[in-house]
A and B are shown apart, each in its own frame.
Chain A
Amino acid sequence: MSGLVIVILVALVFIVIYQIGKSSEHAGVIRGEELISKKTNKTIAWLFVVVFLLGLYGIWVCNEYFVGKLLPVAACKTGENYDKMFQVTLIVTGLVFLATQIVLIYFAFKYQSSEKRKSSFYFSHDNRLEVIWTTIPAIAMTILVVIGLKNWFEVTAPAPDNAMVVEIVGKQFNWIVRYPGQDKELGIRDFRKINDANNVLGLDWSDPHNHDDIITQGEMHLVVNRPVKLIIGSRDVIHDVGLPHFRMKMDAVPGITTTLQFTPTITSDSMKLITGNQNFVYEIACDQLCGKGHYSMRGTIIVETQAQYDAWTAKQQSYYAQNNPDAKPTQTEAAPATGAGDSKKADEKAAGKSVTMKQ
């Protein structure tokens, strides 16, 4: 019923507006045959100016509103460069924006139809002007490209040799994180060996490098000031490892391995102080539409000191040990068992841990 009332109200409003429009037009016809009266022309010219000034005020209000609500300082070196470059681009484009919009509205207002300008000013081309305003943008673009590519090659440079390697694999709708363990090498994985009960990444147990690998879901631990190389993959569809606090992202594509490298410079705890937000957390946001749970595909990163990280690692049991309790009672040393007899006994502890996802 209320729906019907709303529909009728909306229809009435439209009819009223239409009638006003209609009658104003009739009045115009009565006044003379002109399509737009001089008065209307003047009114619209003024309206342009008023709307423009309100717009500028709106921009200012918007800026004020967002102060302190955007991201905190970048948490890595390349992120700092990113912020600088963003500033430069913002200044260049901001100046062009203001200049051209002001000229646009100024011309519109200044050159509104006038009795005095009966004969129009015939000015159809000027090659000097064209050259000038081709060259200036070209130079500006060159500057932006140079800064951009310098940063681009820094961000995409190969990771340093001492970087810690962490693998992150997306699946609908969660992130699986794997650490290489004490041997510092990730073992081979094969998507055909994936089993949600006891082998979420399809680790090949015949590869001894896998036996000390640690797997967590939805949470990644990194060490402050230590370069990290992310090995990125996906189990099903394309996802994207979005790291807003580090100002970067990279797609996770099934069948293809992608990488990211950066050096976190601020621990999670320091960031809580910087932002004054006790709940602050580095988040991993999926940035590529991956299905119905896309918006909930959230991971977190904990950046900590080496000591904290070591303490955390010490508490972790290798994924192999969790899922093959018969093969090895505790953490792997170095020499693995045969690996052939991977037990199929479902270990609910690992598999059932659906971290934040509502499926």
Chain B
Amino acid sequence: MNHEAITHEHSGAGAALAHPHGAGGHHHVHEHHEQHFIWKYIFSQDHKVISKQFLITGIIWAVIGALFSVFFRLQLGFPDSTFPIMEKVLGEWAKGGKLSPEFYYALVTMHGTILVFFVLTAGLSGTFANLLIPLQVGARDMASPFMNMLSYWFFFLSSICMLVSLFIETGPASGGWTTYPPLSALKDASMGSGVGMDLWLTGMALFVVSSLLGGLNYIATVLNMRTKGMTMTRLPLTVWALLFTAVLGVLSFPVLFSGFVLLIFDRNFGTSFYLSEIFINGKALPNIGGSAILYQHLFWFLGHPEVYIIMLPGMGMASEVLSNNSRKPIFGYFAMIISMVGITLLAFVVWAHHMFVTGMSPFLGSIFVLLTLLIAVPSAVKVFNWLTTMWRGNIRFNVQMCFAIGFVSLFISGGLTGLFLGNSAIDIHLHDTMFVVAHFHIVMGVSAFFGMFAGVYHWFPKMFGRYMNNTLGYLHFFLTIAGAYLIFWPMHYEGVAGMPRRYYDISAWESFKHFQPINVFISIVTVVVFFAQLLFVVNFFFSIFRGRKVMTQNPWGSPSLEWTTPINPGHGNWEGEIPEVYRWPYDYKDDGHGHDFIAQTTPLAPGEESH
């Protein structure tokens, strides 16, 4: 769609916006009118500001979530020691410097919830879908900037709910990030199933609202607001990946929402959707006929696509960064898109591989084995395409490239262990052991984070007009990749030996107690890696204000559209008309003027064939 007609010669922050469907009603800000601080930075409708809001909120959550993992790793590594500093931070929950089991489980639960939803969903898609979709498709803003703003503020409300739950007397939810009923449904079953669980459910419901508002906007923008010449097959893979991410979210989050609503009913209004034949705390409950397994179906119907909601943006950004820094087109552009279509479709029909040992019909299980292992095929195609992209390239090892290579390495490692877990006959032993923890942390934890880091280092100049510090970046990268493997590699062995996950203390177990030295090792590395992440945080915030200034419009020599905007683009992104696009975003070839790439906005030379 072409919006040039609506644009004028405005410049600077108050530029007129080109969104005829804008719901806010107060956008047509006049040319030289400075917006009030509140409207410019807080209740902003500029996609770039919203993107920064998501990113910074995500970083704050990531630090909290990571700190929780340090606390519970200290318990796992040193169950007999006390850490007075923990009592200072956690108070009653770590009396005498030792975590109580209840709070251990609360920390584990909140670590998972925070990292999966608040950081790797909102912090990741929220940041990059907002930043990149309008900039890379050539739009002045999202389809509905107002909805976009609401999306952030619902996320903010949801964050407040979760944060509050950390401070109540009975503690936050403690039934695991999956919050399976009846444990999460019955106040008598666990301390965290009290008010903490109500806040968790409220927070998550708000989160779903935020995610849907954002997702619908991303889809609408990609489909309707591309600039002239920007056909779907000229979109960067980041936009494709973010589009599929949004589709996954929009179709699966409502199912999760329904699961939560039923759980709220079971908890508060005496229904029996998930409850049946329960005797707890000395009395038999009246509920009969519900199925605890129903919740798991509803949960994993989102829960599995969620894995790809987390992975796809990283895949898109890694594709972009690998191609850009190999100074070579991404290999197999169409194969990449088709494999993402495959992943998106299959993501909806593999959820029950999380439930092989719930007693489901073995026949049904076998179907899910087949579909699950099928997902390895498009994933493998992506890996081979990335490798071939690097082949005969001219590789520039800036920090984002390091993270993109790390992303591929971790994606391979974590993906391969998925072949064990997706095969029910192996899962029946490995299910819910440390092997699972190692698997998903490598693939959707660290790997997704690497995609995110690659994105932050790559687009930081676009966000803030400055660079992040390279030396700190390299240090951050090597400490993190080494640390990630040191933490999670040995964890696989514990799982192979059958050691269950979520154990507060293994010393009473004849089969597992000899793994204590490994737990000590993992815990020490965790603390080191935690501090290495603070290097990133310090680098990020210092660089916003003190980083080296960007002097050229296109610092990475990238053909895609976001680098045709001014170094510090105002609201509306382009001064003057939105540029027209003539070619695909991976034209890394000699342009005849000493550059090794041709921007998307360069018309085809006579006789030149479009990709």
- Cβ–Cβ contact A249 & B508, under 8 A: no
- Cβ–Cβ contact B332 & A148, under 8 A: no
The 8 Å CB contact of A124, one of B357, B478, B493, B586, is: B586
- Cβ–Cβ contact A125 & B500, under 8 A: no
CB contacts (< 8 Å) of B224 on chain A: these are none
Q: Kindly state whether residue A337 has any CB partner on chain B within 8 Å.
A: no
Q: Which of B459-517 contact A (CB under 8 A)?
A: 467, 469-472, 474-475, 478, 481-482, 485-486, 489-490, 493, 496-500, 502-506, 508-511, 514-515
- Given that A70-B496, A294-B105 are contacting pairs, would A289 and B486 also be in contact in the complex, using a CB cutoff of 8 Å? no
Count chain B CB atoms within 10 A of each CB in A44, A48, A232 and give the residue with the most.
Answer: A44
- Cβ–Cβ contact A291 & B331, under 8 A: no
Q: Kindly state whether residue A244 has any CB partner on chain B within 8 Å.
A: yes
- Cβ–Cβ contact B504 & A295, under 8 A: yes
- Cβ–Cβ contact A10 & B531, under 8 A: yes
Alpha-carbon distance A51/B212, docked complex (angstroms): 42
Alpha-carbon distance A126/B332, docked complex (angstroms): 7
- Cβ–Cβ contact A236 & B101, under 8 A: no
Q: Kindly state whether residue A45 has any CB partner on chain B within 8 Å.
A: yes
- Given that A82-B425, A89-B419, A240-B432 are contacting pairs, would A287 and B387 also be in contact in the complex, using a CB cutoff of 8 Å? no
Spot the interface stretch: B30-38, B160-168, B279-287, B447-455: B279-287
Alpha-carbon distance A81/B426, docked complex (angstroms): 10
Chain B nearest CB: distance from A286 CB in Å? 7
Chain B nearest CB: distance from A113 CB in Å? 5
- Cβ–Cβ contact B498 & A191, under 8 A: no
- Cβ–Cβ contact B88 & A3, under 8 A: yes
Q: Which of A318-333 contact B (CB under 8 A)?
A: none
Q: Kindly state whether residue B9 has any CB partner on chain A within 8 Å.
A: no
Alpha-carbon distance A249/B501, docked complex (angstroms): 14
CB contacts (< 8 Å) of A118 on chain B: these are 596
- Cβ–Cβ contact B333 & A58, under 8 A: no
- Cβ–Cβ contact B398 & A35, under 8 A: yes
Alpha-carbon distance A126/B105, docked complex (angstroms): 51
Contact size class for B? Answer: 35 or more
Chain B nearest CB: distance from A323 CB in Å? 17
Chain A nearest CB: distance from B175 CB in Å? 6
CB contacts (< 8 Å) of A58 on chain B: these are 485-486, 489
- Cβ–Cβ contact A103 & B357, under 8 A: no
CB contacts (< 8 Å) of A62 on chain B: these are 489-490, 493
Alpha-carbon distance A345/B585, docked complex (angstroms): 81
CB contacts (< 8 Å) of A302 on chain B: these are none
Chain A nearest CB: distance from B197 CB in Å? 13
- Cβ–Cβ contact A249 & B183, under 8 A: no
Q: Kindly state whether residue A159 has any CB partner on chain B within 8 Å.
A: no
- Cβ–Cβ contact B380 & A133, under 8 A: yes
Residue in chain A with minimal CB distance to B106 = A292
- Cβ–Cβ contact A292 & B102, under 8 A: yes
CB contacts (< 8 Å) of B277 on chain A: these are 191, 254-255
Contact string, A268-286, partner B, CB cutoff 8 A, digits 1/0? 0000000001011101011
CB contacts (< 8 Å) of A141 on chain B: these are 373-374, 376-377, 419
- Cβ–Cβ contact A133 & B431, under 8 A: no
CB contacts (< 8 Å) of B175 on chain A: these are 289
- Cβ–Cβ contact A240 & B370, under 8 A: no
CB contacts (< 8 Å) of B190 on chain A: these are 291-292
- Cβ–Cβ contact B183 & A291, under 8 A: yes
- Given that A21-B475, A35-B470, A100-B383 are contacting pairs, would A253 and B402 also be in contact in the complex, using a CB cutoff of 8 Å? no
Alpha-carbon distance A150/B423, docked complex (angstroms): 11
Q: Kindly state whether residue B334 has any CB partner on chain A within 8 Å.
A: yes
Residue in chain B with minimal CB distance to A138 = B377
Count chain A CB atoms within 10 A of each CB in B289, B362, B432, B535 and give the residue with the most.
Answer: B432
Q: Kindly state whether residue B606 has any CB partner on chain A within 8 Å.
A: no
Residue in chain A with minimal CB distance to B176 = A289
CB contacts (< 8 Å) of A104 on chain B: these are 387, 390, 405, 408-409, 412
Spot the interface stretch: B58-66, B130-138, B261-269, B322-330: B322-330
Q: Kindly state whether residue A226 has any CB partner on chain B within 8 Å.
A: no
Alpha-carbon distance A205/B428, docked complex (angstroms): 36
- Cβ–Cβ contact B511 & A289, under 8 A: no
Residue in chain B with minimal CB distance to A255 = B276
Q: Kindly state whether residue B456 has any CB partner on chain A within 8 Å.
A: no
CB contacts (< 8 Å) of B291 on chain A: these are 255-256
- Cβ–Cβ contact A256 & B548, under 8 A: no
- Cβ–Cβ contact A22 & B278, under 8 A: no
Residue in chain B with minimal CB distance to A239 = B183
Q: Kindly state whether residue A312 has any CB partner on chain B within 8 Å.
A: no
Chain A nearest CB: distance from B255 CB in Å? 20
- Given that A108-B395, A134-B377 are contacting pairs, would A119 and B292 also be in contact in the complex, using a CB cutoff of 8 Å? no
- Cβ–Cβ contact B280 & A124, under 8 A: no
- Cβ–Cβ contact A283 & B511, under 8 A: yes
Alpha-carbon distance A62/B487, docked complex (angstroms): 12
Residue in chain A with minimal CB distance to B386 = A104
CB contacts (< 8 Å) of A25 on chain B: these are 469-471, 548
The 8 Å CB contact of B419, one of A129, A144, A259, is: A144
The 8 Å CB contact of A123, one of B329, B380, B490, B510, is: B329
CB contacts (< 8 Å) of A69 on chain B: these are 493, 497, 514-515
- Cβ–Cβ contact A51 & B481, under 8 A: yes
Q: Kindly state whether residue A47 has any CB partner on chain B within 8 Å.
A: yes
Q: Kindly state whether residue A12 has any CB partner on chain B within 8 Å.
A: no
Alpha-carbon distance A121/B331, docked complex (angstroms): 11
Alpha-carbon distance A93/B435, docked complex (angstroms): 15
- Cβ–Cβ contact A103 & B328, under 8 A: no
CB contacts (< 8 Å) of B370 on chain A: these are 145, 149
- Cβ–Cβ contact A251 & B409, under 8 A: no
Alpha-carbon distance A58/B487, docked complex (angstroms): 12
- Cβ–Cβ contact B469 & A122, under 8 A: no
- Given that A124-B331, A279-B510 are contacting pairs, would A119 and B596 also be in contact in the complex, using a CB cutoff of 8 Å? yes
Q: Kindly state whether residue B393 has any CB partner on chain A within 8 Å.
A: yes
Q: Kindly state whether residue B605 has any CB partner on chain A within 8 Å.
A: no
- Cβ–Cβ contact A293 & B472, under 8 A: no
- Cβ–Cβ contact B470 & A291, under 8 A: no
Q: Which of B46-96 contact A (CB under 8 A)?
A: 84-85, 88
CB contacts (< 8 Å) of A277 on chain B: these are 510
The 8 Å CB contact of B398, one of A36, A89, A93, is: A36
CB contacts (< 8 Å) of B373 on chain A: these are 141, 144-145, 148
Contact string, B235-260, partner A, CB cutoff 8 A, digits 1/0? 00000000000000000000000000
Q: Kindly state whether residue A31 has any CB partner on chain B within 8 Å.
A: no
- Given that A119-B596, A148-B424, A155-B425 are contacting pairs, would A236 and B278 also be in contact in the complex, using a CB cutoff of 8 Å? yes
CB contacts (< 8 Å) of B326 on chain A: these are 111
CB contacts (< 8 Å) of B588 on chain A: these are 120, 122
- Cβ–Cβ contact B357 & A250, under 8 A: yes
CB contacts (< 8 Å) of B182 on chain A: these are 236-238, 254
Contact string, A184-196, partner B, CB cutoff 8 A, digits 1/0? 0000000110101
- Cβ–Cβ contact A20 & B471, under 8 A: yes
CB contacts (< 8 Å) of A281 on chain B: these are 510
Q: Which 10 A-B pairs have the closest CB atoms?
A: A244-B498, A255-B276, A258-B359, A156-B362, A151-B425, A21-B471, A44-B397, A148-B423, A295-B503, A137-B380
Residues of B within 8 A of A (CB): 84-85, 88, 100-102, 105, 174-176, 180, 182-183, 186, 189-191, 275-280, 282, 284, 288-293, 326-335, 357-359, 362, 365-366, 369-370, 373-374, 376-377, 380-381, 383-385, 387-388, 390-398, 402, 405, 408-409, 412-413, 416-417, 419-420, 423-426, 428-429, 431-433, 467, 469-472, 474-475, 478, 481-482, 485-486, 489-490, 493, 496-500, 502-506, 508-511, 514-515, 531, 534-535, 538-539, 542, 548, 551, 555, 586, 588-590, 596, 611
A–B complex contacts, Cβ < 8 Å, 20 sampled:
A28-B470, A62-B489, A89-B426, A108-B390, A112-B395, A119-B589, A122-B328, A124-B329, A125-B331, A235-B278, A236-B186, A244-B498, A248-B428, A251-B359, A254-B292, A279-B510, A287-B433, A289-B105, A289-B175, A294-B504
**Apart from A104-B409, A293-B101, what 11 extra A-B contacts exist at CB < 8 Å?**
A3-B85, A10-B531, A40-B470, A101-B412, A111-B395, A125-B335, A149-B370, A149-B425, A152-B366, A172-B280, A295-B503
